[in-house]
Amino acid sequence: MVPRQVELAVEPVVPAPQTTPGQGERIARLLLTRSPLGSLVRRVAGIHASVHSKLLGAFFLIALLLIAMGAMSLRTITNVSRQSRLLDQARDRVDASRQIEHALGVQMNFTRNALILRDEATIESILRENNRFHDTLARLEGAARPGELETIQRIRAAQDQVMTTVAHVATLIRDGKHDEAMTVHLSEGYPLYREIATLVTRVVRTEEAGMGELRQNVESANHRALLLMGGFAAASIFLALVLGFVTSWSFILPVREAEAFLGRVAKGDFGATIDVPNRDEFGVLAGRMNEMSRELHHLYEAQRRLFGELEVRNRELGRSVEELRALGEVGQAVSSSLNLETVLTTIVARSVQLSTASGAGVIYEYDDVAQEFLLRATHGMDAALGEALQEAPIRLGEGALGQAGLTRAPVHVADILDERAVVLARVRPALVQSGYRSLLAVPLLLDQRIMGGLAVWRREPGPFDPAVVNVLQAFATQSVLAIQNARLFRELDAKSRELEAASRHKSAFLANMSHELRTPLNAILGFNEMILGDIYGDVPADLRVPLADIQSSGRHLLRLINNVLDLSKIEAGHMELTLGDYSAQDTVASVRTSLRALADDKGLEFVATVSEDIPVAYGDGGRVMQCLMNLAGNALKFTRQGRVAISVERHGHVLVYRVADTGIGMTPDRIESVFAEFRQGDAAITSEFGGTGLGLSISKKFVEMHGGRIWVESEPGKGSTFSFSIPLRLGEGSPA
Amino acid sequence: MSVRTILHVEDNELNRKMIRDLLRRTAYRLIEAPDGEAGVAIARGERPDLILMDVQLPKISGIEATRRLRAEPATADIPIIAITSFALGGDEQRAKEAGASAYLAKPYSPFTLLGMIRALLPEE
């Protein structure tokens, strides 16, 4: 048998969906391997903090960046608004200067008007205008920058002079000194106006120049703010991206590692380890996975070890089964075949098969007298080797087999080529030529007595497996049994032939003796009957009784002879039923007629009841009558008073004959042996009632030959009822 | 009517004498033969009216003798009473098959035999 292959079942692994890396993925990989980001990711992963904290940290950083960006923009806005304010102030100052210029013009105009019109109202207008001018100048002075103050003070001084001049002019006009007033105005007032105008124009110019500068400042401030904000935004985006990248990859990488690891485990790579730099939950997870993997690896190793052991056991078991099967086969051959050659051929064939793939084997039977091993069966033998072995028997102690016989133990020859090996010299060349290298010889022993030997040759050198030696020894035992069986069978066969011959002689003797006994008995009874029948003249009265006794004794002797003969024939198997139709009624009538005289002599009531519905029966009517005669005769013999009743009933296909008496009866232990040969109640009974004790056993045999049954119900002192059942028609219907 | 002749084929002298004694006072004429061959030869020559044929006989058996007599037209119709010592079962059957008219087992009652003879062959 081929040892069954046991495979460790591994669940089929569903391959993880292979995603082809997209553009983003490729970039990410490039970044991870070629840029410092890779080490950053590992460093982040290595931070001893939970995933939650890391995410929180990343978001916090981004929030900080946003706050900083807000602060920066706030500062920029403040700066810009300050510049604007300065611009506004400058514009206000320009406006004031322009108003001063205007007021100066109006003042001069009014002064000219007063010179022409010479009325009071106009003069007052000049003074009012002069006051307003004064106010405006004060406003300008308040908003003026430090560098302008000198110019403004000069304007004020000129204005003061203008006021004095105007007041003088006004007084002159009121006084009607118009020409003088004109002269004053032209000589004093006008130049003052010109001076003021020049000063104001200077202020305006200065302010305008300042405004241009301010405008430039605002513009550059705006530009700077734009740059700063852009930079901040870019930096924020960059930082957010980097943080996102680093954080997410510090999580993605361990997940990917875990996925790959689980994939390996699923494919059966137990004991694989996962290595992640993470010191967060992923790190813990990886640690657990490694533990699991180690555990799996241990389990797997244990399982594999078990599997290996199982396989070894399985192979051993297969071999044992094979051996058992071979033993069984051999055992069956031994028990089922009486042909020694068949059995030994089976044994040697199985021996060779169990020991080697391509070998040969022989079985020898030992001749005790000649002290030689004789070849009995071979297997796988080639012609040359066969001839070498047939050449001569192996003597005890000669070669491996002879040695095995001598030592009563198996003999190994690990290498036939070895000159020192115990190998029969005349066989060695043939063995070597046939390619055999090693041999095993096992003696066949029966209680340390040599019965033969079993030898197996192999083409491979080396010692034999102890298991094979054991099996071959078992085979040797079987071979011994087979040889023993065959010898016993030979003896038995001879004995049975003798017995058969003896039986034939016995039958012939019995037939002969029967004839030889009957012939004189015929003469004795015949002459006696003729004497009693007065053939030889009248017989004296006192001779009649002894003559009748001769007749009775002669009949008894005849019955004895008949019974012995019947029994012998039955035992030799020569008794055959003479089958034919017969009538149960006639049978009973004949028996009654034959025995009526005896019943009458003993004063017994002798009745017979036969069911009227019994049809013609089929069987050996003579033997049935003989049985009934025996039973009825016995009943009359053993009954001193009362009655003997014969009855026949039909139960379907069966007839039941009964003989009931009121005789001495039997105890239960006598009932048991009543149908055995040569048995009667006891010696006393024999002496009182006579008889051979064969009648019942012969009757039993005849009934059984009909397929029937005979039995008795009895009680000591009350009587016995003997019954037998036989088929109404032998060979038809159900058995009795 | 002529005297009826009975042939008794039997090897035992005492048994032959017994039949001689039995038939002495009858009208039958008795002739005897000690074995089967003689029985057949005498039956051919004498043409008896009845034959008492013992089955166990020297030379050839009573069964064989009966068969031979039945095979010859001259003797085919002679009634034959086969007498056997009942040694083996089936004697009666074989005797009847060979052609015997009646069958009697030893030991027989001489008077029963006489009855059978008279039934088959009236004295006169």
Find chain B residues with C-beta within 8 A of A550's C-beta: none
- The 3-state DSSP class for residue B69 equals helix
pLDDT attached to residue B34: 92
Instruction: Tell whether the torsion through CA atoms of A221, A222, A226 and A232 is positive or negative.
Output: positive
Check B93 against A522: CB less than 8 A apart.
no
The C-alpha of B106 sits at a distance from chain A's nearest C-alpha, in angstroms, of 6
At which residue do the structure tokens 């096992």 appear? A442
Closest CA in chain A for residue B26: A535
> Does residue B14 surpass a pLDDT of 80?
yes
Between A322 and B9, name the one with better pLDDT: B9
Dump pLDDT digits (tens) for A481-505: 877 877 788 888 889 888 888 877 8
Count Cα neighbours of A505 within 13 Å in the Cβ-side half-sphere: 6
The confidence score (pLDDT) of residue A419 equals 78
All residues of chain B having their beta carbon less than 8 Å from the beta carbon of residue A530 are 18, 21-22, 110
Distance from CA of B114 to the nearest CA of A (A): 11
Report pLDDT for A416: 85
Q: Which amino acid, one-letter code, is at A587?
A: T
Contact between chains at A511 and B12 (C-beta distance less than 8 A): no
Question: Using one digit for the tens of pLDDT, what is the confidence trace for B50-63?
Answer: 999 998 888 888 88
Which of A510, A522, A536 shows the shortest C-beta gap to B15? A522
Distance CA(A558)–CA(B86), nearest Å, equals 11
Answer yes or no: do A533 and B88 touch at CB < 8 A: no
Identify from B106, B108, B112 which residue to disrupt to test chain A contact, counting A C-beta atoms within 10 A and taking the largest count: B106
User: What residues contact residue B65 under an 8 Å CB cut-off, 6+ apart?
Assistant: B9, B36, B37, B39, B40, B53, B57
pTM score, two decimals? 0.43
Query: How far apart are the C-alpha atoms of A654 and A735, rounded to whole Å?
Result: 8
Q: Chain B contacts of A519, Cβ < 8 Å?
A: 12, 15, 85, 106
Chain A interface test: which of B9, B26, B85, B112 (most A C-beta within 10 Å): B85
For chain A, what is the largest distance between any 2 Cα atoms, rounded to a whole number of angstroms? 250
Nearest partner of A162 among A202, A120, A138, A134, judged by Cα = A134
Of B24, B90, B110, Cβ closest to residue A526 = B110
Considering only alpha carbons, which residue of chain B is nearest residue A570?
B89
Q: How many CB atoms lie within 10 A of CB A93?
A: 26
- In total, the C-beta contacts within 8 angstroms joining chain A to chain B are 74
Gap between the Cα atoms of B18 and B32, Å rounded:
12
Quick one: closest CA in B to A569, which residue? Answer: B88
Q: Is A586 left (phi over 0), alpha (psi -120 to 50) or beta?
A: alpha
Q: Work out the minimum CA distance from B116 to partner chain A, whole angstroms.
A: 15
Exposure pattern of A428-440 as b/e (b: 16+ CB <10 Å)?
bebbeebebbbbb
What is each CA distance from A53 to A50, A463, A597, in whole angstroms? 5, 74, 135
Chain A hits for B56, CB-CB cut-off 8 Å, are 515
CA distance A715 to chain B (A): 37
pLDDT averaged over 10-residue windows placed end to end, chain A, 736 residues: 44 49 79 82 83 85 83 83 83 80 79 78 78 79 76 82 81 82 82 82 81 83 82 82 84 84 82 81 85 86 90 85 78 72 83 80 88 87 81 84 88 84 81 87 88 89 84 82 80 87 76 77 90 88 88 83 77 77 89 86 89 88 89 88 91 91 85 69 50 77 90 88 90 56
Please choose, from the candidates A61, A486, A497, A431, the residue with its C-alpha nearest in 3D space to the C-alpha of residue A243. A61
Helix axes A281-336, A340-355, angle to 10 degrees: 160
Chain A, nearest residue to B25 by Cα: A535
CB contact under 8 A, A529 and B110: yes
Distance of CA A530 to the CA centre of its chain: 100
The residue of chain A nearest to residue B13, with distances taken between CA atoms, is A523
Asked if A201 and A101 touch (Cβ cutoff 8 Å), the reply is: yes
Question: Mind telling me how many Å the CA of B35 is from chain A's nearest CA?
Answer: 15
Sheet holding A411-413, edge to edge: A394-395, A372-379, A360-367, A449-458, A438-446, A411-413
Contact assessment for residue A630 and residue A696, using Cβ atoms and an 8 Å cutoff: yes
Q: How high is the pLDDT of residue A253?
A: 83
Nearest-neighbour CA in chain B from A707: distance (Å): 19
Mean pLDDT of B32-52: 92
Selecting from B56, B85, B110 the residue whose C-beta is nearest the C-beta of A530 gives: B110
List CB contacts of A363: < 8 A, sequence separation 6 or more.
A344, A347, A348, A376, A377, A378, A444, A452, A453, A454, A479
Per-residue confidence (pLDDT) for residue A85, from 0 to 100: 85
The nearest CA of chain A is from the CA of B14 a distance in Å of 6
Q: How far is A531 from chain B (nearest CA, A)?
A: 10
**pLDDT confidence band for B117 (50 / 70 / 90):** very high
Of the residues A514, A517, A518, the best mutation for testing chain B's interface (the one with the most B CB atoms within 10 Å of its CB) is A518
Contact list in B for residue A565 (CB cut-off 8 A) is 87
Residue A682: predicted pLDDT? 52
pLDDT of residue A79: 81
For residues A407 and A445, the answer to whether their CB atoms sit within 8 Å is: no
Map tokens 């009942």 to a residue. B86
Chain A interface mutation, best of B24, B52, B109, highest count of A Cβ atoms under 10 Å:
B109
| B90 vs A contacts (CB less than 8 Å) | 576, 578
Nearest to B90 among A522, A558, A576 (CB): A576
User: Measured between CA atoms, how close is B102 to chain A, in angstroms?
Assistant: 17
State the Cα torsion A681-A683-A685-A687 to the nearest 10°: 150
- Give yes or no for a contact between A728 and A654, defined as CB atoms under 8 angstroms apart: yes
Interchain proximity B107–A511, CB inside 8 Å:
no
Cβ contact A529–B22 (<8 Å): no
Residues in chain A, how many?
Answer: 736
Question: By the 8 A CB rule, do B6 and B114 touch?
Answer: no
- How many residues are present in chain B? 124
Which residues on A lie below 8 Å from B14 (Cβ)? Answer: 520, 523, 527
3-state secondary structure of A580: strand
Per-residue pLDDT at A81 = 85
A565/B87 CB distance under 8 A: yes
Interface test with B, best of A513, A517, A519 (most B CBs within 10 A): A519
Report how far residue A152's alpha carbon sits from residue A243's, in angstroms, rounded to the nearest whole number: 61
Chain A residue whose CA is closest to B93: A578
Interface of A to B at Cβ within 8 Å reads 510-512, 514-515, 518-523, 525-527, 529-530, 533, 535-536, 554, 558, 562, 565, 569, 574-576, 578
Residue B28 has a pLDDT of: 92
CB contact under 8 A, A518 and B86: yes
CB atoms inside a 10 Å sphere around CB A410: 22
The pLDDT value recorded for residue A324 is: 79
Supply the pLDDT for residue A338: 67
SS3 A243: helix
Instruction: Verify whether the Cβ–Cβ distance A519 to B93 is below 8 Å.
Output: no
Residue from the list B89, B92, B107 with its beta carbon closest to the beta carbon of A558: B107
Q: What residue ranges in A84-211 does DSSP mark as E strands? A: none
Confidence at residue A296, expressed as pLDDT on a 0 to 100 scale: 84
Query: Å from B41 to nearest chain A CA?
Result: 24
CB A274 within 8 A of CB A289: yes
User: How many CB atoms neighbour CB A106 within 10 A?
Assistant: 17
Q: Do residue B109 and residue A525 have CB atoms under 8 angstroms apart?
A: yes
Q: Residue A522: which of B22, B88, B106 has the nearest Cβ?
A: B106
| Residue in B closest to A517 by C-alpha | B85
Residues of A in contact with B110 (CB under 8 A): 526, 529-530, 533, 535
Could you give the CA distance from residue A527 to residue A537 in angstroms, rounded to a whole number? Answer: 13
Helical H runs in A144-189?
Answer: 149-174, 178-184
Backbone angles phi, psi at A674, to 5 degrees: -65, -25
